[in-house]
Structure 1
Amino acid sequence: MRKSSRVLGGVLAVTLLTQLSACGTLFFPDRRGQIDGKVDPLVVGLDAVGILFYVIPGLIAFGIDFATGAIYLPNDNKYSVAPEKLQDAIGEDGKVDSAKLKAIILRETGKDLPLDDPRLIQHHGSVEQLATYGLILRA
């Protein structure tokens, strides 16, 4: 009886660990921050397996993937803007003007980004990080 309870506990522990790691946020961290797009069937399948075996971890995995945007397939279109052109979006106080940034991105890539969307994840940097990209503050 003691050996069977150890085996059962081991199987339960391994199953829980696989379900906790079976979400798109852990498998595809580069997709975090997306707002919308086509849903990745692989991530949905992994999250559905979590619901099949354990309802609560599966629902949590779905919630995390939708909240972070990792459940969406990446866009095939890659756009970039030269750092020199982004210089105009930085104010004298070192803060980025969202309206100017949106206009520069629209002009350079043709994409109108929803920079005022409340679901947008914004990362705050420092003057040193701007300097690594060759951007300097205007005095």
Structure 2
Amino acid sequence: MRIPSRLLCIALGGALLTQLAACGTLFYPERRGQIDGKLDPVVFALDAVGLLLYIVPGLIALGIDFATGAIYLPGGETYSVAPERLREAVDDRGQVNRQRLRGIIREASGQDLPLDHPQLIEQRGSEAHLSALGLRPSA
């Protein structure tokens, strides 16, 4: 039984196109933008199959999935706190009361963060940094 060359070309082109688009990016677009995490074995296996069948498209698919972060399993829960609520932790001089901030975060997320840990790295912002983020200082 002979397969028409046109059908073979369409099948091969479709396979290459799906590998160039990367499996994780196609199947899980909501995962894009992750920085790190545990690898998703399903996405990695699909990219590896593409790597076995076609070397260059398989490498491109792996590269795209790693670059976009779609190869990683979704992270844990995320929480957000309204800026008005965070202002309660700032005193009149603009200093952050760590205990109040810790309490606000504990209420919002149920997580107790070690804000007094000796290895905690604290960054100070400036008015230029705030304006770059589209914020205005108000303390």
* TM-score of the superposed pair, with normalisation by structure 2: 0.57
Question: Gaps spanning 5+ residues in structure 2: where?
Answer: 89-95, 116-120, 124-131
Deviation at 1:82, TM superposition (A): 1.9
Question: Gaps spanning 5+ residues in structure 1: where?
Answer: 89-99, 117-124, 128-135
CA distance in 1, matches of 2:80, 2:5: 56
Q: Over residues 29-63 of structure 1, what are the superposed CA-to-partner deviations in whole Å (9 max), with x where a residue is unaligned?
A: 22222222111011101111210211111111111
| Counterpart in the other structure of 1:32 | 32
* TM-score of the superposed pair, with normalisation by structure 1: 0.57
Determine whether 1:13 maps to 2:13.
Answer: yes
Q: Which amino acid aligns with 2:57?
A: P
Q: Structure 1 residues 39, 111: CA separation in 2 closer, same or farther (over 3 Å shift)?
A: farther
Q: Over residues 79-107 of structure 1, what are the superposed CA-to-partner deviations in whole Å (9 max), with x where a residue is unaligned?
A: 2222434679xxxxxxxxxxx9xx9xx84
Q: Which amino acid aligns with 2:61?
A: A
CA distance in 2, matches of 1:111, 1:58: 43
Q: Structure 1 residues 8, 137: CA separation in 2 closer, same or farther (over 3 Å shift)?
A: same
Between Structure 1 and Structure 2, how many residues are aligned?
Answer: 104
Deviation at 1:16, TM superposition (A): 1.5
Could you tell me whether the CA contact under 8 Å between 2:22 and 2:60 is conserved in 1? no
| Counterpart in the other structure of 1:82 | 82
| Counterpart in the other structure of 2:93 | none
Q: Structure 1 residues 65, 138: CA separation in 2 closer, same or farther (over 3 Å shift)?
A: same
Deviation at 1:23, TM superposition (A): 2.2
Cα RMSD, aligned residues only = 3.5
Could you list the runs of 4 or more consecutive aligned residues of structure 1 that deviate by over 3 angstroms after TM superposition? 85-88, 109-112, 136-139
